[in-house]
Chain A
Amino acid sequence: MLILNPTSVKIAGVEYTSVESCAIDRTAHKEVVEWNDNGPYAVFADVPEQKVEIKLTQRLESNAADQLLDLLRPGQSAAIEILTSLNSSHARRRKLTATCVVRAVRNLVSVGKDSQARRVIELVAISSDGSTDPVGQIDW
């Protein structure tokens, strides 16, 4: 799932402005693939362990207060709340929530004519009991 220009993003209760994108990636952490004696092709596959990773890309603007934020540290647990809508109206607004653990906070600067600064926050979403989807979605 890729959310471009979400309406609002809060991590640990703090609003993060100018978030360009929020990518929610679901990947296999453990794959089970099995073959039998009858031929070369796999006859069974399953993904018993999945990882849900969230990557936020925030544009850092000069003099913006959020440049000074240094609140998130790897290993920290934080609730994330993302509001999104089809357009700038309030039509079909959805709220995504998840409990996450911070994996990395990276600050990227590109120099030159189009110099830009960005902060990339990588999180892994965790489930409350192992079977519930760690990312909840509700109409808002």
Chain B
Amino acid sequence: MSSYKSLELFGSGPHRFAAEFQGSLVVPKLRLDIQESGSGWLGLEEFTLIVTGRLVASSQSALWALRDAIVAQLVDPPTAGTLVDNTGRSHASMSFIGFEEGDRVDRGRVWSLAYTARFRRFKTVP
């Protein structure tokens, strides 16, 4: 069972974890005001995990409660916490940086909403 800061934010419905690109940030030297061909290396990208899933509730108000609980974890500045994925693996020092909802609430047998949540391990803690 997944959790963030020991809160079960996404457990109402199915959700999956995936890591964004990991590796070096490489840009053309021209972007660095160096007038020659080739690439400049700017260090490793920050580690980012994406959670894609669907919140599921029996009523509209219950779905809003789930949405509000997630959005309440978006704070300024972001604060780091431990993100535990579906396999039980812990990812320490992850900051919750974004929550994007699908284009509509689906109302069939239940109320549900697709989403994408984004967590990042900042190199420099805000």
Give the interface of A toward B (CB within 8 A): 30, 32, 34-38, 43-44, 46-50, 131
Contacts and interface: CB of A to CB of B under 8 A. Distances in A.
Interface in B43-84: 53-54, 56
B18 to A, nearest CB: 9
A9 B86 CA distance: 56
What band does the interface of chain B fall in when counting residues whose beta carbon is under 8 Å from A? Answer: 10 to 19
Interface string B99-122: 000000011111010100000000
Interface of B: 13-17, 53-54, 56, 85-87, 106-110, 112, 114
A34 B54 CA distance: 8
Given A37-B85, A37-B86, 10 more contacts: A30-B106, A32-B54, A34-B14, A36-B14, A36-B86, A37-B87, A44-B54, A46-B108, A48-B112, A49-B106
Nearest to B13: A44
Contact of A32 (B15, B17, B86, B112): B112
14 contacts: A32-B108, A34-B13, A34-B14, A35-B16, A36-B53, A36-B86, A37-B87, A44-B56, A44-B112, A46-B106, A46-B112, A48-B107, A49-B106, A50-B108
Contacts of A37: 16-17, 85-87
